[in-house]
Amino acid sequence: MKKAGSCDLKTCFLCQFSIPEWIAAIGDHKQHLSYKKNETIFQEGSPVKGIYFLYDGKVKVHKQWGAEKELIVRFAQKGDILGHRGLGSGERLYTVSATALEDTTVCYTDLAFFEASLKVNPQLTLKLMQFYADELQEAERKMRNLVHMDVKSRLADALLDISRLHNDVQFTISRQDLAAFAGTTYETIYRNLQEFIQEKLIAVDGKSITILQEKKLKKYITL
Amino acid sequence: MKKAGSCDLKTCFLCQFSIPEWIAAIGDHKQHLSYKKNETIFQEGSPVKGIYFLYDGKVKVHKQWGAEKELIVRFAQKGDILGHRGLGSGERLYTVSATALEDTTVCYTDLAFFEASLKVNPQLTLKLMQFYADELQEAERKMRNLVHMDVKSRLADALLDISRLHNDVQFTISRQDLAAFAGTTYETIYRNLQEFIQEKLIAVDGKSITILQEKKLKKYITL
DNA sequence: ACAAAAATATGATCTAAATCATATTAAATC
DNA sequence: GATTTAATATGATTTAGATCATATTTTTGT
């Protein structure tokens, strides 16, 4: 990680929902940081010192299990807030890790300033609350999928999810990460991807995946 | 469901975190409702008209899957807020159902009034946000458990969780609900409960379960 | 109080998906 | 640019847990 210039004060969640008078204060407090691919931005279990906003690049938010196993909880993109899970009523520890999937720059705010921002900007608090509600809905939907859907359906869901995020039928992701996101193993993802390719629902070229028949993929989910 | 008297204006989440001047307004807007055991308070997929606060009784918050299968996301208790998952940025539909596990009374507020309350009481908004953060952490922890822990460990976790909720090593729950909470089937729960009984970690009498050795149960989780 | 429905108990069977094993290829690092 | 490390490919084997089947007990509605 190294420090870099400053951000445009427009893009991130914090700037977008703060009152104009507060933006200057944000400028004073924000730090611009950059991370290389595969670098850890913060680690599950370590104390929360601040909140991050993704400025450029791609980040996975994930939980570790032992040495080998992980679960990817979310992929974050430009503008997204990172580290807000630490704001609960319990101990202030990150409950997830964040790792750069490509070279990434983020804005960083220490916790005290972020909490001050919440006090000053009711709109920000409200939006953040709404964002939590959305994430909670999604987490619980995924929980249900893990319990009641088979891997192939979960893979279909994951692919559509990632496609929606990228706003493109084509995107790039490792099988490993896909497995951690769908809540299964590499081998199982490999086999089910093969099936989707055979059925011509997707096309694959290296790490690049293209969704060919969104409709049919969707049918796997409502089963 | 039938309407009943009014509540004490002290217990619920809304009253607890609103400024004193607002309490009168709450009194004017709140409705006291009562539900019999097994009655549905609200149903997944139906439009959100308001927010509920559990005043007395016990409620399960759950997602349906097809006709037979469910996943219990949370057990709610006195004071707890219900229906807040519907406050996300998307369509205002309940994403879960709430069903009374015993005779229950709740306070009800229409959505407009609740949103007004949020505007008037920054403290309430902040507390609600914190509550979301906690629930999100918990949901994601459970997701990880579903992916990486076996049923026996998840059952141990569920038992400890419920015990913590009731603030008692003894509590009452159907095997069916236990299965839906641990994300597995009745039969598997039955068998694993037997094992715990054999190992003398718990004692069971009808629907009543007593945790005998909390320490040892906990060990199952950190595996 | 009684019939119908739901929950529980328990064994037998089946299967999806995890694990293991081993090449091959691609990517990062010094 | 060579070497270590990580990701991918693919078959074989194992296993946890779901499903099925059926009997008994407990609840609940009328």
Mean pLDDT of B95-114: 94
Single residue among A85, A115, A140 that ends a domain in this structure: A140
Q: What angle do CA A28, A31, A35 make, to 5 degrees?
A: 170
- Chain B: give the shortest CA distance to residue A101, in Å: 21
pLDDT at A66: 85
Q: What is the pLDDT of residue B14?
A: 92
- Structural domain includes residue B165: yes
Q: Residue B59: enclosing H or E segment and its boundaries?
A: strand B59-65
Q: Is A79 helix (H, G, I), strand (E, B) or coil?
A: coil
Flag whether pLDDT at A21 surpasses 90.
yes
Are residue B171 and residue B130 in the same domain, yes or no?
Answer: no
Q: CB of A64 within 8 A of CB of A129? A: no
Same domain, A13 and A89: yes
Q: How many CB atoms lie within 10 A of CB A48?
A: 20
pLDDT-based confidence at A4, cuts 50/70/90?
Answer: low
pLDDT band per the 50, 70, 90 thresholds, residue A168: very high
> For the domain that residue B214 is a member of, what is the CATH number?
1.10.10.10
Decide if A164 is inside a domain: yes
Residue B32: inside a domain, yes or no?
yes
Of A131, A137, A144, the CB nearest to B85: A137
Helix and strand counts by DSSP (H, E) for chain B = 8, 12
Same domain, A51 and A134: yes
Model confidence band, residue B1 (pLDDT cutoffs 50, 70, 90):
low
A85 CB within 8 Å of a chain B CB? yes
Question: Which residue in B113, B121, B117 sits closest to B50, CA to CA?
Answer: B113
Residue B5's pLDDT is 63
Average pLDDT over residues B89-111: 92
Res. A18: pLDDT tops 80: yes
* Average pLDDT along chain B: 93
**b/e map A49-72, b = 16+ CB within 10 Å:** ebbbbbbebbbbbbbbeeeeebbb
Model pLDDT, residue B91: 82
Is B111 a residue whose pLDDT tops 80?
yes
Within-domain flag for B223: no
pLDDT beyond 80 at A223: no
- A79 and chain B in contact, CB less than 8 A: no
Shared domain for B122 and B15, answered yes or no, is yes
| Three-class HEC string of A130-144 | HHHHHHHHHHHHHHH
Whether residue B23 sits in one domain with residue B112: yes
Same domain, A36 and A106: yes
Same domain, B18 and B76: yes
The structure's pTM equals 0.94
Domain of B192 in residue numbering reads as 149-218
**A127: its two tokens:** 């939006």
Tell me the pLDDT tens digit for each residue of B122-170: 999 999 999 999 999 999 999 999 999 999 999 999 999 999 999 999 9
Mean pLDDT, residues A104-125: 93
Distance, in Å, from the CA atom of B87 to the CA atom of B38, rounded to the nearest integer, reads 25
Select from A91, A129, A223 the residue whose CB has the most chain B CBs within 10 Å, as the one to mutate to test that interface: A129
| Listed residues A77, A112, A140: the one ending a domain | A140
Comparing alpha-carbon positions, the chain A residue that sits nearest to B132 is: A132
Chain B 146-175 residues whose Cβ is under 7 Å from strand D: 150-152
Please indicate, yes or no, if residue B39 is contained in any of the structural domains: yes
Helix (H) and strand (E) counts in chain A: 8, 12
In this prediction, residue A26 has a pLDDT band, given cuts at 50, 70 and 90, of very high
Strand partners, A74: A61
pLDDT exceeds 70 at position A191: yes
Give the residue from B16, B134, B140 with the most A CB atoms within 10 Å of its CB, the best one to mutate.
B140
Number of domains in chain B: 2
CA triple A80-A83-A89, angle to 5 deg = 130
Beta bridge partners of A62: A72, A97
In-domain check, residue B36: yes
Using the CB atom, is residue A185 less than 7 Å from strand C? yes
Chain B CB within 8 Å of residue A152 CB: no
Mean pLDDT of chain A: 92
For the segment B189-210, the average pLDDT, to the nearest whole number, is 96
Q: Where are the alpha helices (DSSP H) in B59-121?
A: 111-120
* CA–CA distances in Å: residue B130 to residues A133, B126, B127, B134: 11, 6, 5, 6
- Tell whether B79 lies on the interface with A, counting CB pairs under 8 A: no
d(CA B166, CA B164): 5
Reply yes or no on whether the pLDDT at B68 is more than 90: no
Given a contact cutoff of 8 angstroms between Cβ atoms, the answer to whether B85 and B51 are in contact is no
For residues A6 and A36, membership in a common domain is answered with yes
Strand C–CB B187 distance below 7 A? yes
Distance CA B165, CA A73 (A): 26
Output the six-digit token pair for A128.
């953040």
Q: Which of B122, B140, B158 is the last residue of a domain?
A: B140
> What pLDDT does B43 receive?
94
| DSSP conformation class of A118 | H
**Statement to judge: residues A92 and A156 lie in one domain:** no
- Predicted confidence (pLDDT) per residue in B29-60, tens digit: 999 999 999 999 999 999 999 999 999 999 99
B134 and B187 housed in the same domain: no
DSSP B54: E
User: Which nucleotides of chain C does any protein CB come within 7 A of?
Assistant: 7-12, 16-21, 27-29
Establish if A223 belongs to a structural domain.
no
Task: Check pLDDT > 60 for residue B203.
Answer: yes
Q: For position A6, what pLDDT does the model report? A: 65
Per-residue pLDDT at A118 exceeds 90: yes
Round to whole Å and give the CA distance between B153 and B145.
Answer: 8
Q: What is the average pLDDT across A72-78? A: 95
B124 within 8 A of B17, measured Cβ to Cβ: yes
Q: Are residues A168 and A188 in the same domain?
A: yes
User: Could you tell me which of A82, A15, A128, A23 has the C-alpha nearest to residue B125?
Assistant: A128
B208-211/B170-172 β-pairing: antiparallel
Report yes or no: B14 at the A interface, CB cutoff 8 Å.
Answer: no
Selection from B124, B160, B129, B137 nearest residue B13 by Cα: B124
Candidates A83, A138, A178, A148; CA nearest to B139 is: A138
CB contact at 8 A, B183 and B148 = no
Give the mean pLDDT of A146-170: 97
> What's the angle, vertex CA A189, arms to CA B66 and CA A40, rounded to 5?
105
Q: In sequence order, what are the beta bridge partners of B52?
A: B82, B108
The mean per-residue pLDDT over the stretch A163-187 comes to 96
| DSSP per-residue letters across A13-33 | HHHHTS-HHHHHHHHHH-EEE
Tens of pLDDT, residues B155-165: 999 999 999 99
**What sign does the CA torsion over B147, B150, B155, B156 have?**
negative
Q: What is the CATH number of the domain that holds B32?
A: 2.60.120.10
pLDDT of residue B209: 97
Instruction: Examine the domain organization and report whether A118 and A188 are in the same domain.
Output: no
pLDDT, residue A162, reads 97
pLDDT of residue B223 exceeding 60, the answer is no
Q: Please give the share of chain B, as a percent, with pLDDT higher than 70.
A: 97
Give the Cα separation of A91 and A174 in Å (integer): 34
Identify whether the C-beta of residue A157 lies closer than 8 Å to the C-beta of residue A149.
yes
